[in-house]
Structure 1
Amino acid sequence: MTFGIPTKQLVRASLGALTLALLAGCASKGEPAYTPKELRSFDETSSLETQWRRNVGDGLGHARYPIAPSREGDTVFAADVEGVVMAMNANNGNVEWEIDLDTTISSALTAIAGQVYLATGNGEVISLNQRDGSENWRSRVSSEVLAAPQANQQLLVVQSVDGRVTALDRASGEERWVYTSSQPSLTLRGTGTPMVIDPVSFVGLANGRLATLDNRSGQPLWEMQIATPRGRSEVERLVDLSGQPIISPDGRLFVTSYNGRVVALEATQGDVLWEADLSSRHTPILVGDFLFVVTDDSQIVALDANSGREIWRNDDLEDRWLTAPAFADGRLVVGDFEGYLHLIDAREGNIVGRTRVHSSGISVRPVTEGSTIHVQANNGRLETLEVTP
């Protein structure tokens, strides 16, 4: 069986390069040693009604760059691998503007405070005006960027594939500081996405460490080993923190790791509050007292955010290469490698709705606003759906 998405097949084997390799679990002639679960019938209590759809350029490309869309207010912003960026009315899909940056886009988009930030395969970071797509500035960092740039009021923090974290001035794009970390010889394709608040940035690294950086200087305030390399082969010793740390309003930090654990920390000092033995390369989602995690074998797990106790686990979509979860009106939303979008009841853990967006597959996290879902398929199709009831 072959797959239309990058998963454990895509590994960066040297700094600043995208080397395609097969990770653990692959048999001879490229045949995976696992079998994605077949979809089964279920009691459908929620429906997904398409509101509009648009084709955004040529999609995510053969390497399946993680070019997730972004929404601010009533506008959705999306891009393709070849440099096309589009702004669309979130309610009806009308195109507000479209530009061609004439460069390979490699990162997800971040729309905030009237600007759209994105990054390229040659290490450029670009700021666009949300109103008309005009370019504010371009700045260069040390290498390719796959993670969405993250902003606070003054800075744009960018994590590149060579393990460096660069802070740029949001207004001008000028470099403010650079933090450098050690990189293992083999890492998952991609990097963690920083969690940036005004005083500090929380950064997950490919060596399994979490660093808390002072946004005034880039100096680490504290660091912690979240996942420890184990095993004899380099593949077994992968411990990337490739999801984004999540912070709660009361100052708890939730971190996932590949071949590691999910950890809850006290954000100011890094004291461990609890840990759970779950491997995940995805960003979790926190809703009230529930922390939702999609594991590396595509099980969906709900944890008590206060204790780490497992509340429910759904394995109906095991090995279907699910996206990171989103949340829409009481349901979790995930896409899979065959292009299906699934709704899971957040309290009970059962599948309650499903539709197919496109057979090219879905590999980037859906964007939600209330009961509205924007999801971009690998071929570039951007579809907006409404959850009912």
Structure 2
Amino acid sequence: MDKKFILPFALTIVAAALVGCSSNKEKVDTKPLPLPKLVQSKQLVPVFSQSVAATNKDDDLRLQIAVDQGVLFIADPKGVVEAYKGKQRLWSTKMSNKDGLSAGVEAADGIAVVGNQKGLLTALDQATGQVKWTAQLSGSIIARSHIQIGHVITVTNDGNVYAHDEATGQQLWTYRLPNVPFSLRGQAAPVQLDPNNVLIATANAYVYGIDVVSGVPRLQRRVAVAEGRSDVQRLNDINPPVMMGQFMVTTSYQGQVTVTDLAQQQVVWSDDASSHQRPEVTQSKVFITTVDGKVIAYDLMSGQKLWENDKLLRRNLSNPVLLGSDLVVGDFDGVLSLIDPNTGDLIGRSSTKGQVSSLRVIDNQLYVSTQKGALSVWQNR
């Protein structure tokens, strides 16, 4: 079995290692900036919260919240999956295996899918929590699956892509990605390209498009370039892409933010920016958070930098998301910062517990997961 070595999530340690490789002995400031005082501060309204077991602090791969048909699905790294309708718990299922969970939840079409580090993929009935089927894959599952047109698409950490029938769990096809020996995060989660194809980003600076039904590759694009002498300096993980019409927006670690026109098969623009988070994209703007804690907005079509916020440096920012008229980012201390998407100004904040690992907006509500196991839902006032 091929293995990918995943470096710890402590990016400040990685940065320090890179500096140590240089002959320049200049000190690098790794202390997070204190939060600036706000004259007027908006706050988010908490809607729901639930605590589960914390994830390993050295593991940047987090179990995420899923929502389908108004039902909230959450997973515990110790192996518990629960469903909530509002604040009412509908069911709680403990996985029978002893290996806990490392990926999920993905929920659609009546099932909720989770995976573990031993490669066991499990589909649960959304209504009852009962196990519908399991499948043993070839490597660790550390990225959530994707459900599309009756297929469950899963990427294992040894570089294999699997498709299973969502009703029966039967394996329909497999596709082999190029194996990369080092990765910051491991394989990224698959995302939809169009009704018939999925996009899979890899740690070799490429994005692949694969036909969901047949497993035939339809697209292969290099979207980033990293330079350096060592394997660590050449790390170039691509985060899950975002589609906006015919434009694919990608960010990468030690690489670039890039907009690619898939209809014309050409790069529209690219700008050097190291990020380990998925971008937020609207019809006119691209928002990213960088490894060093900047929040940057670009014009989608021209690549012009609209603004740059450096008030949250070294605070280990989460992915940015738009909640109504506000841009939201989380940090290592559980702070949710609200930013004016037009100016980049900080306009408010709220707090949860633990390092914010992922943000999602569904039906104008903000879903937050943290490393300490705090799962919460928020909305604007």
TM-score by length of 2: 0.89
> Partner residue of 2:232?
235
Q: Could you tell me whether the CA contact under 8 Å between 2:57 and 2:371 is conserved in 1?
A: no
> Partner residue of 1:382?
375
> Partner residue of 2:362?
369
> Partner residue of 2:209?
212
188 and 19 in structure 1: CA distance in 2 versus 1, 3 angstrom threshold: closer
Write the distance in 2 (CA, Å) between the matches of 1:238 and 1:133. Answer: 39
Q: Could you tell me whether the CA contact under 8 Å between 2:79 and 2:101 is conserved in 1?
A: yes
AA paired with 2:95? Answer: L
Q: Could you tell me whether the CA contact under 8 Å between 1:16 and 1:144 is conserved in 2?
A: no
Give the alignment partner of residue 316 of structure 1, picking from 292, 311, 315: 311
What does 1:119-138 align with in structure 2 at a 5 Å threshold?
Answer: 119-138=115-134
Q: Name stretches of at least 5 consecutive residues in structure 2 with no aligned partner.
A: 21-26
> Partner residue of 2:91?
97
Q: Could you tell me whether the CA contact under 8 Å between 1:70 and 1:367 is conserved in 2?
A: no
Write the distance in 2 (CA, Å) between the matches of 1:46 and 1:228. Answer: 39
Write the distance in 1 (CA, Å) between the matches of 2:359 and 2:266. Answer: 32
Task: Tell me if 1:352 matches 2:363.
Answer: no
> Partner residue of 1:10?
none
SS of residue matched to 2:16:
coil
SS of residue matched to 1:146:
coil
Q: Could you tell me whether the CA contact under 8 Å between 1:328 and 1:370 is conserved in 2?
A: no
Aligned-pair CA distance for 1:18: 5.2
AA paired with 1:225? Answer: R
AA paired with 2:379? Answer: E
Task: Tell me if 1:257 matches 2:252.
Answer: yes
Give the alignment partner of residue 32 of structure 2, picking from 17, 32, 36: 36
> Partner residue of 2:24?
none
> Partner residue of 2:333?
338
Give the alignment partner of residue 198 of structure 2, picking from 182, 196, 201: 201
Give the alignment partner of residue 284 of structure 1, picking from 274, 279, 287: 279
Give the alignment partner of residue 52 of structure 1, picking from 38, 48, 52: 48
SS of residue matched to 1:273:
strand
Write the distance in 2 (CA, Å) between the matches of 1:213 and 1:87. Answer: 31
178 and 148 in structure 1: CA distance in 2 versus 1, 3 angstrom threshold: same
Q: Could you tell me whether the CA contact under 8 Å between 1:24 and 1:235 is conserved in 2?
A: no
Deviations 1:188-224 (A, max 9, x none): 1332222223322211111111112233332322312
Give the alignment partner of residue 220 of structure 2, picking from 223, 227, 247: 223
Q: Could you tell me whether the CA contact under 8 Å between 1:147 and 1:193 is conserved in 2?
A: yes
Q: Could you tell me whether the CA contact under 8 Å between 2:7 and 2:182 is conserved in 1?
A: no
Q: Could you tell me whether the CA contact under 8 Å between 2:102 and 2:142 is conserved in 1?
A: yes
Q: Could you tell me whether the CA contact under 8 Å between 1:16 and 1:162 is conserved in 2?
A: yes
What does 1:120-199 align with in structure 2 at a 5 Å threshold?
Answer: 120-196=116-192, 197-199=194-196
Give the alignment partner of residue 65 of structure 2, picking from 64, 69, 83: 69
> Partner residue of 1:78?
74
Q: Could you tell me whether the CA contact under 8 Å between 1:81 and 1:105 is conserved in 2?
A: yes
Deviations 1:313-349 (A, max 9, x none): 1111111111112221111222111111111122221
TM-score by length of 1: 0.87
SS of residue matched to 1:384:
strand
Q: Could you tell me whether the CA contact under 8 Å between 1:328 and 1:369 is conserved in 2?
A: no
Write the distance in 1 (CA, Å) between the matches of 2:254 and 2:5. Answer: 23
353 and 180 in structure 1: CA distance in 2 versus 1, 3 angstrom threshold: same
Instruction: Give the paired residue count.
Output: 366
Write the distance in 1 (CA, Å) between the matches of 2:311 and 2:280. Answer: 19
Identity of aligned residues (%): 26
AA paired with 2:254? Answer: N
SS of residue matched to 1:24:
helix
Give the alignment partner of residue 15 of structure 2, picking from 24, 49, 68: 24
Q: Could you tell me whether the CA contact under 8 Å between 1:373 and 1:386 is conserved in 2?
A: yes
Q: Could you tell me whether the CA contact under 8 Å between 1:222 and 1:270 is conserved in 2?
A: no
Q: Could you tell me whether the CA contact under 8 Å between 1:329 and 1:370 is conserved in 2?
A: no
RMSD (Å) for aligned C-alpha atoms: 2.3
Give the alignment partner of residue 274 of structure 1, picking from 266, 269, 272: 269
165 and 384 in structure 1: CA distance in 2 versus 1, 3 angstrom threshold: same
Q: Name stretches of at least 5 consecutive residues in structure 1 with no aligned partner.
A: 1-13
SS of residue matched to 2:44:
strand
Write the distance in 2 (CA, Å) between the matches of 1:44 and 1:145. Answer: 44
AA paired with 1:264? Answer: V
Deviations 1:156-207 (A, max 9, x none): 1111212222122222222222222223332113322222233222111111
Q: Could you tell me whether the CA contact under 8 Å between 1:245 and 1:255 is conserved in 2?
A: yes
Aligned-pair CA distance for 1:63: 4.2
Q: Which runs of 4+ in 1 moved over 4 A?
A: 16-22
